[in-house]
Structure 1
């Protein structure tokens, strides 16, 4: 499948992992973060007084970002997903496939049965202290391709929509917040709830989770830098109400 834009940045993700979302919510309901929801929190001081048009959506692993992204999409908001772009770039015929292959010696087994990059085979080659240089080379290939597609998506959709969501898991880690008018962080503000959610996933281990967290800006820092925070420590209905409030703000606010 060619790495076309149409199948990548779209209003999607309707099959969110509701069971993982609900895990541990009772313990987190009393968290003080409840008062820091999108509905209650004022915009950060550094945010423009104008209505934001490009809204970055991010959050650490296990915080419910994908579910929130799907909620925005279900409300008709154009959503561009960085992970989905990477999957398309790595798919058979994808623009990144020959470039990634060229990083490694001829004959290196990187491909899946369809001729795309198999992430399970690629991961051991770019993880670890001895592979930092290779990882940097890989990022130098993939990040510009993702950025180009995201920019085209934003330009195309802002012609007809009051705002767009740019869903980027590593938004702060890659400096992507500079390209956004506002940033929404999805968080439970509870590390234990986060661990329970992630460790409930198939093939996830505590060691894998710890390695992932080391690469991510701590949740507390993300919340402190955000313009808005969506609290996912409560129910799906409550989270949907927070999303509705943000859609209203971004759509109806005066410039």
Structure 2
């Protein structure tokens, strides 16, 4: 294979998996901007030294492994506390410093990205049993970090009640379930939530994205998790995107992990252009 063809194959492999790396990096850092910066740094490192992209792994595992080499080399990231746009992000990083090393990474790789324990081990440079232990520790530490009031925006009754059950069992209070954009705004006005769980496509063909932005206009930053059958609508890279995004069908572990992560950071990026 020629050098040119090899470069094209590498580009294709990375391009297919890049949206998922960006999703993971945003969830890991709690910020679209910071997460995308780490993803970009990973791509630059691969271009400069293609050998860090391990050809004996699947493309996704190889890409995430390269990311973790950059992430671990950089150490614990910090935000500029003098910049009001990153002040909440900085507070989150301060909070994150109290967690056991590598636990959040392992949890996200498992529950959000769906990697098996052995794949997580390859990505993080640990064995499968250690990856499993890190995930157990993360779940325990994150769920103990805080609880709060959560609004659910979902038009399918069965899904809404399932999410309600999962979140309630975690110790959170549900402010209500909204099926449309208008009802979400009305519900928010009655009881401001600490976290929003939202679908994109609602009962009256209104948009969950617009509903969330209406609430952010009213209250400022509120952590938001989108649970949707249409994740591609939020992974375009053309506008600010949420740090927490779960595709339907979801698992209970994904919801629990994302809720704990979002409540932990207590901030999110708006979807406004």
TM-score by length of 1: 0.34
TM-score by length of 2: 0.32
Structure (1/2) with the larger helix percentage: 2
Kindly indicate whether structure 1 or structure 2 has the higher relative contact order, using CA contacts under 8 Å at least 6 residues apart.
Answer: 1
